[in-house]
Amino acid sequence: MRQTLAIFLDAYRELNSKKLFWIVMAISLAVVVALAIPTNNERGIQMFGVTVELPLVSSKEISPKGFYAFILSWVGVNWWLTWGAILLALVSTAGMIPDMVSSGSIELSLSRPIGRLRLFLTKYAAGLLFVAAQSAVFGIGAWLVMGIRGGSWSPTPLMAIPIATLVFSYVFCICVLIGMATRSTLLALLGTVIIWLGIWAFTTTEGILQSERVRSESEVVRIDSQLGQLRDTLKAVDDKIAETTAASEARQPAVETLPGDIAQSAPTPDAATPDSSGPADARDPSRGPPRRPGGTNRLLSAGRAVLFAAQASQSLDGLRRSRESLSGQITSLETRRPERAKSAESVRRWHRILKAVVTLMPKTGETKNLFQRTVVDKEDQEGLFRLLANFTGDQDVKETSDAINRRSLGWVLGTSLLFEALVLALAAWIFCRRDF
């Protein structure tokens, strides 16, 4: 145990002697302070007394806690800790193993009363101190920002420490293996960066295919839903057309016989009216023309029937036009659905293949996303999804994020740590078997 602590102390002294270590430490602290300056209010983002009108990030949509959790995750963790700080850490630690195994240095290390495997693993763990120290500064600062500015003293921001250290360990094990095989700091650094970019390209492509798969499958579901609604509407229109046609046909005969009925109800010239007292030409002119029983009512009925027939005709024309439009929409959707279903199946097939390949690689992207999954509350995620959908134009961003978040920790961390263990085991085997 004493020998292990001595190696860790030597590693700390080595880091302490490098100016880059303190420069990165200062940058981590500056990033936390910079992210604590802006805040959100009811109108948008406020900074130095000036408010930028951004309703989607206002306090009505996202709480102050969710606002700081989002910017600490998006800027602090995603960009600084897991890209900038790791790249600078690689520059500082890439020569740790090549310098140890170089001529003149390895003899001094092996002269200590410690086994080779233990020496190698202790040296590797000491290399992780660089990012662990940077992430500790950032994590503690993020915790203070969330407490003072966001009003939440939850310890979840401290998750930045293990998350950033894990992401660095995925990359550092590759650097150690290349350094052991080549004994060159420059080749170890360049090789690690190239492999890291390759892993990033594969995982990013898998994420894009995941998003495209979600969009394609969602579009097929939306087409099926629209087809169901349009078919139900078309059936209702057909029923209405049949009902209107039947009602129109039922009233049409009454309209055709109305003139004959009126003619038959008119009295003959030689017929006397009920109140006449003599011949028609001998009646009192002041009494006016003779009344025809029921004639006015029959004329009103005839007018209503004609008006109903006209309205029914107009309604039928409108219903038929609506039916023609609905039929066109249904035909268009039925034509488009097989194409989208075929495209979705193709994307699904390629995504399965690429996901199987990515399973064998370290999940740097998913690991750093664990910070957002841990820190951001569910009630604030809806506002963040609306913000991302408005910013990226992707209306399925929530479904895509849910699909990624449904991936278990066993798949994200388990497969990544298995990759790291295999690479580290190979490097340790080379170190233990090589004759220095």
Residue type at position 215 = R
Enumerate the H helices of 360-376 as residue ranges.
364-375
CA 202, 208, 211, 216 torsion-angle sign: negative
pLDDT at 296 over 70: no
pLDDT at 259 over 50: no
- The Cα–Cα gap between 197 and 194 comes to 5
Q: How confident is the model at residue 42, as a pLDDT?
A: 87
pLDDT, tens digit (0-9, with 9 covering 90-100), for 52-105: 888 777 888 788 888 898 889 888 898 898 899 899 889 888 888 888 887 666
- The Cα–Cα gap between 241 and 191 comes to 74
CB distance 66 to 384 below 8 Å: yes
The strand pairing partners of 39, in sequence order, are 46
Helix (H) or strand (E) holding 44: strand 44-47
**Token pair for residue 408?**
């278990």
Q: How confident is the model at residue 31, as a pLDDT?
A: 92
* Mean pLDDT within 406-431: 92
- The Cα–Cα gap between 45 and 24 comes to 28
Say what the pTM is: 0.75
Q: How confident is the model at residue 287, as a pLDDT?
A: 46
Cα Dmax for the chain = 153
For the ranges 139-148, 285-294, 398-407, which has the lowest average pLDDT?
285-294
CB distance 345 to 213 below 8 Å: no
* Mean pLDDT within 22-27: 89
Mean of the per-residue pLDDT values for the chain?
A: 80
Query: 249-252, long-range: CB within 8 Å, 24+ apart, which pairs?
Result: 251/305, 251/308, 251/309, 251/312, 252/309
Phi-psi region of 262 (alpha: psi -120 to 50; beta: other; left: phi over 0): alpha
**How many CB atoms are closer than 10 A to CB 411?**
14
CB distance 237 to 350 below 8 Å: no
pLDDT, tens digit (0-9, with 9 covering 90-100), for 391-406: 555 555 666 666 667 7
Half-sphere exposure in the Cβ direction for 76 (13 Å, CA): 36
pLDDT confidence of 377, banded at 50, 70, 90?
A: confident
pLDDT, tens digit (0-9, with 9 covering 90-100), for 198-216: 999 999 999 889 888 888 8
Q: How confident is the model at residue 421, as a pLDDT?
A: 96
pLDDT at 257 over 60: no
pLDDT at 386 over 70: no
DSSP string, 299-339: HHHHHHHHHHHHHHHHHHHHHHHHHHHHHHHHHHHHHHHHH
pLDDT confidence of 356, banded at 50, 70, 90?
A: very high
- The Cα–Cα gap between 187 and 179 comes to 7
pLDDT at 352 over 90: yes
* Mean pLDDT within 160-175: 94
CB distance 157 to 151 below 8 Å: no
**Token pair for residue 78?**
């995603």
Q: How many helices (H) and strands (E) does the chain have?
A: 16, 3
pLDDT confidence of 305, banded at 50, 70, 90?
A: low
pLDDT confidence of 38, banded at 50, 70, 90?
A: very high
| Residue 51 DSSP one-character state | E
Q: Which residue in 20, 370, 414, 373 sits closest to 164, CA to CA?
A: 370
Q: How confident is the model at residue 385, as a pLDDT?
A: 62
CB distance 333 to 39 below 8 Å: no
CA distances from 56 to 61, 63, 116, 146, 387 (A): 6, 11, 57, 20, 6
Helix (H) or strand (E) holding 119: helix 116-127
The rounded percent of the chain whose pLDDT value lies above 90 is 35
| Residue 50 DSSP one-character state | E
The strand pairing partners of 40, in sequence order, are 45
